[in-house]
Amino acid sequence: MKVAIGADHGGYELKADLTKVLESLGHEVLDKGAHQYDAEDDFPDFAAPVAAAVQAGEVDRGIVLCGSGVGAAIAANKYPGVRAGLCHDTYSAGQGVRHDDMNVLCMGARVVGIALAEDLVKSFMAANLEADEPRFQRRLDKVTAIENDQISKS
């Protein structure tokens, strides 16, 4: 699978570790930055390119890291078609994909340690939408309808 990853200064070090994990699992990683540590950078500058890559179909999934993960999730969810979830437990990281077709995983590098972050990525990347379950598609269709309604209002 092809995955984009991005992080501000809060997640910069963790991004390097997770890139290695993703590659060891056989995934192709597209690094959207930061490419050097800058204590003054901002999470939208890295969440946006990851979300744009997912939206455009350039990658299958995305991962965005910041200090808490909250800002990254907010920024990524501004892109139509992106379903970013903030996850700090393995159940949500997998279930978000299986039930909600989550395509961007957001994490707080100041909230999770490396071992848990690795497990979150593994859970996220191993999961697939349970498309044979009608209720999950019905719910996804409702979310898409809300998104389309908001787009038409802008």
Residues recognised as catalytic: 66, 99
| 27 strand-pairing partners | none
35, 40, 70, 111, 150 from 75: Cα distances, Å: 19, 17, 9, 19, 16
Q: Which residue has the tokens 């999730």?
A: 73
Whether residue 41 contacts residue 6, with contact meaning beta carbons closer than 8 Å, is answered with: no
Phi, psi of 10 (to 5 degrees): -65, -30
